[in-house]
Amino acid sequence: MSTTSTYSLYEILKETSAKVPEKIAITYFGINLTYKALLDRIDEIAAAFRSHGIGQGDIVAVSLPTMPESIGCFYALHKIGAIPCMIDVRYTPEQICEIVDRTQAKMLFVMGFSCKSWAKTKVNINVEKVVVCSGSDSIPAVSFWYGIGEWFNGRKKVFLKNKKFCHWKDFINTVQGKDETQPYLWKPDEMAALFQTSGTTGTVKSVMLSIENILHSVLPESPIFNDLKSEDSTICFLPIFAFFGTNAIIMTLNYGMRAIVIPIATKEEFLKLLIKHKPQHVFSVPAYWDFVNHDEDIVEDFSYLKTVFIAGDILNTTFEKRINDYLQQRNYHYVVTKGYGMTETAGGISCTPQHSPKQYEQGFLGKPLKCFEVKTFDDEICIHSEMKLLGYYKNEEATRQLIQTHPDGSQWLHTGDMGYIDEEGNIFLIGRKKRMIVRHDGSKVFPIEIETCLMEHPSVKACAVVPVQDPDHSESKLPKAFVVLKDDCQNNCFTLENLKTHCKTHLPEHLMPAAIEFIDELPMNNNGKVDYQKLIKN
């Protein structure tokens, strides 16, 4: 990885390309892009942006999955000093338009499969141009047939009716050649990207990240990778519209490795894709590893894996043990690395080291990474950074709640996570402040304590605990557990009584779930996390 002091993602990629121009940077559906080809493509995209009047300080909305086009847009916008506003492809046109209006984006990039939705919506798209991409734009052999198909599936009508819409190929062909101008050099604390987050509130907010924030998340001192070599590959399942996904892409390219790009992957496909591509490094969320509960007959040799990094949601220690046992029985030589971070801090705050004696202590998240100081105030984990954390775009009230000035004048980011710091400086997470359940007698219940107990039962595959109304006390709540049983557990009545006995044996009275309900699977939100709001409404 480059040790340059420049604040430019483009310049770092350019330095890597100069060293290994013919090395493969991206693999996408069997198509390989070398570092030189990737840089040339970014220069072409940058020239196209300039031809559409996009320049320093302009915001461009990008609602695309991880693919060469979205990666190219991100880097090209950084080259010209413009700001990518990354938006979940699963948002409705109304949600996307609200973000576009709030950020005053000048252009919007969307996927072709969403065009019918755009045609039906009555909202006004307040941008100068909507560029429509397909998964085949980088695959010439498929692109022709995709164009033919548009005449038959109705998408072409959108282009004929609304002149704001154009194809990716029309956007990129507006100019011939590459952008030869000098790349923009960002100021360290200048807003360089926008990512959307809803946290536990359900309200979408745009997180402002500086180039310093982004570059810190991919420091060469990062302890995430095990035995990293430049010839390694990283499989990139995580969507680029989530900062975790962007982080994986940037880190892979900064180290001169190969990024195996998977635009859309379900947790059911995860294992098959691992076996097919055999990467050395994997960035993932806990839900992807559900297969360890039922695919025990898989004989795959996982010795090619060096790093299994899991973040984005709480990883229960019982589930963590299952993952490690599963992989190590198949020749994985390390243990899972857990990460703790937020979009608001540009990802990683801490991560767990290899083979720590505290590895399976509930909530263990390792020590803070460089530039972060972590303390607890009223049991809430708070972050102080050497870097400036910018907060939310055009949302001063939410920013004030997030980044608070303490009596001594210091500023701390309040994570909303409850936890503690041990005598060695390790962070331990207890649970989300907003998930805490307060019973009528004032006792506090953190769902993770109940979930950990349930997961230790041999019949339980997954579980989640949410608050429900206490029928005897209108101002208080009680914990209710939703449980997914393993496939071989057929007798629910027997298992229910078994679970109740298990909880009574291992939990104090105030942590006993008021009810246990069996469901087929836990609902997930767009980021692969458990959707607790759906369970509460159940």
pLDDT digits (tens, 9 = 90+) for 224-249: 889 989 899 999 989 999 999 999 99
8-state DSSP, 487: T
Residue-level pLDDT at 397: 94
Q: Are 36 and 17 in contact (CB under 8 A)?
A: yes
| Residue 154 located in a structural domain | yes
- pLDDT of amino acid 287: 85
Provide the pLDDT for residue 162. 66
Split at pLDDT 50, 70, 90, the class of 345 is very high
CATH of the domain at 512: 3.30.300.30
Give a yes or no: residue 82 inside a domain: yes
Residue 128 is given by DSSP the state: S
Q: Are 195 and 210 in contact (CB under 8 A)?
A: no
Residue 201 pLDDT > 60, yes or no? no
Instruction: Please determine, for residue 258, whether its predicted confidence score (pLDDT) is greater than 90.
Output: yes
Q: 113-127, 146-160, 338-352, 478-492 — which is least confidently predicted?
A: 146-160
Whether the per-residue pLDDT at 474 is higher than 80: the answer is no
DSSP per-residue letters across 3-39: ----S-HHHHHHHHHHHSTTSEEEEETTEEEEHHHHH
User: For the chain, what is the radius of gyration of the CA atoms?
Assistant: 24
Q: Is residue 458 part of a domain?
A: yes
pLDDT band at 204 (very low <50, low <70, confident <90, very high): confident
The answer, yes or no, to whether residue 327 has pLDDT greater than 90, is: yes
Q: Which residues pair with 207 in a beta bridge?
A: 195, 392
Q: Which of 165, 196, 227 lies at the terminal end of a domain, its last residue?
A: 196
Domain enclosing residue 73, as ranges: 38-196
Which of residues 161 and 201 earns the better pLDDT score? 161
The pairs formed by 9-14 with CB atoms below 8 angstroms and a separation of 24 or more are 9/75, 9/78, 9/211, 9/214, 9/215, 9/250, 10/42, 10/75, 10/78, 10/79, 10/183, 11/183, 11/185, 12/254, 13/38, 13/39, 13/42, 13/75, 13/253, 13/254, 14/39, 14/183
Residue 39 CA to residue 528 CA, distance in Å, equals 31
Say if 286 falls within a structural domain. Answer: no
pLDDT exceeds cutoff 70 at 4 = no
Residue 283 lies in a domain: no
Given this model, what pLDDT does residue 446 score?
A: 85
Long-range contacts of 121-128 (CB under 8 A, 24+ apart): 121/92, 121/93, 121/94, 121/97, 123/93, 123/94, 123/97, 124/97, 125/93, 125/97, 125/100, 125/164, 126/97, 126/100, 126/101, 127/61, 127/100, 127/164, 128/52, 128/53, 128/164
Identify the pLDDT of residue 151: 41
Residue that is last in its domain, among 196, 219, 243: 196
Does residue 224 fall inside a structural domain? no
Domain endpoint, select from 149, 178, 196: 196
Supply the pLDDT for residue 294: 81
Residue 98: inside a domain, yes or no? Answer: yes
Q: How far is CA 485 from the centre of its chain?
A: 27
Q: Which helix (H) or strand (E) holds 419?
A: strand 411-421
**Tokens at 414, concatenated:** 């309040």
Average pLDDT of every residue of the chain: 87
For the domain that residue 123 is a member of, what is the CATH number?
Answer: 3.40.50.980
What's the number of domains the chain is made of? 2
Question: Would the pLDDT of 222 be above 70?
Answer: no
Indicate if the pLDDT at residue 146 is higher than 50. Answer: no
| Residue 159 forms part of a structural domain | yes
What is the share, in percent, of the chain residues with pLDDT greater than 90? Answer: 59
